[in-house]
Amino acid sequence: MNHVVNGDVVGGKIKSLNDNIVVWREMYDFGPLSRDWTLEKTYKRRAEFFEQKLQIPSSFFIENCRSQFQLLNELSRSEEVVLWFEHDRYDQVTILYLLSELSTLGFHKISMVSINEYEGIEPFHGLGQLSSEQLIGLLPTKQEVSDEQIEEACAGWKAYCSNNLDELDDFIQKCHALPFLKQALLSHMTYFPSKQNGLNEVEFLALSMINEGINSFAELFNKLVRQRTNDGLSDLYFAAILNELLKGDFPLISSDSELPSYKQHNPKAKIELTKWGLDVLMGKANRMNLIGIDWWVGGVHLVEKSSNNNK
């Protein structure tokens, strides 16, 4: 039996199974994607983005992508592959990719351990909260992946990587075979900016919390993820979101030190709302006019230059 898990924590906790374990470390909820790119171009474009936004060295990123794909491709087609992923946006998008890729590579014996709750753990964020014994105890609950689910994953990955948001919206309205996918993709849609203020829902919530006096990055992140349990948002992703709001002549927030990144893990930054940020929060200004945007959400590249020249 083979296992593909989300992250090193879960991989380490099930190693006593003595099976092949492939740890998947990609973040498909973050960074550029396009169904028109080759595999190598995808690695390159995403590596550039991750280096720019998270300070992850591009060479390291590309090496990891190639290595994990090789490990996946080397798994025996005659043995079962068990995917260990939970309900949130981060994991469900990864499931779309993996089911699509495994199907392309000729795997047919695929099953999943996928949950959105566990008795006694509240709030439940993910499999990493469970002990080794609890995780291994979930193995008998694995469900065989059906042909319908494979077809849905292939169509979903294609729609997710499309630069046409209407295509993804149409897919969401009819997806149902994968149990947690629809809610995860509805959460994904909240990462697109509002026409009213130019902020997505995570940005708006963060600014609201900062305005309420939650100024520590660590406290801000912890409180936000407790409210956004369908996202699977990491601290580095959240820091990258906030860094975009720190940019330009009219930043929406200020910080007394660097926010966490791959090279800087200290989460002690204190964050304040600027007068421009308050204006956006109160609906008196639009983020796009003040700081613009250059960001990716799935296959959609959001680009707009700022147009405000008045401080």
* pTM for this model (two decimals): 0.94
Contacts of residue 29, Cβ cutoff 8 Å, sequence gap at least 6: 89, 90, 93, 188, 231, 232, 237
Note the Cα 34 to chain centre separation in Å. Answer: 16
Residue 276 has pLDDT above 80, yes or no: yes
Q: How confident is the model at residue 176 (pLDDT cuts 50, 70, 90)?
A: confident
Domains of the chain with CATH codes: 2-189 (3.40.50), 201-304 (1.10.10)
DSSP string, 50-70: HHHHH---HHHHHHHHHHHHH
Residue 124: band (very low, low, confident or very high) from pLDDT cuts 50, 70, 90: confident
Confidence of residue 268 (pLDDT cuts 50, 70, 90): confident
| R_g over Cα of the chain | 20
pLDDT at 125: 85
pLDDT value at position 12? Answer: 93
> pLDDT at residue 309 above 80?
no
pLDDT tops 50 at residue 140: yes
CA atoms within 13 A on the CB side of 40: 0
Cβ atoms 183, 90 nearer than 8 A: no
Tokens coding 33: 């994607």
Average pLDDT (272-295) is: 98
* CB 50, CB 31: distance < 8 Å: yes
User: Residue 48: how many CB atoms within 10 A of its CB?
Assistant: 15
Contact 157, 175 (CB under 8 A): no
**pLDDT tens, 215-237?**
999 999 999 999 999 999 999 99
Amino acid at 178: L
Task: Say whether pLDDT at 297 is over 90.
Answer: yes
Mean pLDDT of the chain: 95
Q: Count CB atoms within 10 A of the CB of residue 192.
A: 16
d(CA 168, CA 181): 12
For residue 149, the surrounding DSSP H or E stretch is helix 147-160
Q: Indicate the range of 86-95, 112-121, 144-153, 273-282 predicted with least confidence.
A: 112-121
pLDDT of residue 311: 45
pLDDT at 73 over 70: yes
User: Contact 168/190 with Cβ under 8 angstroms?
Assistant: no
Placement of tokens 């998947």 in the chain: 24
| Average pLDDT value for residue range 273-284 | 98
Q: What angle do CA 102, 107, 108 make, to 5 degrees?
A: 120
Is residue 303 predicted with pLDDT exceeding 70?
Answer: yes
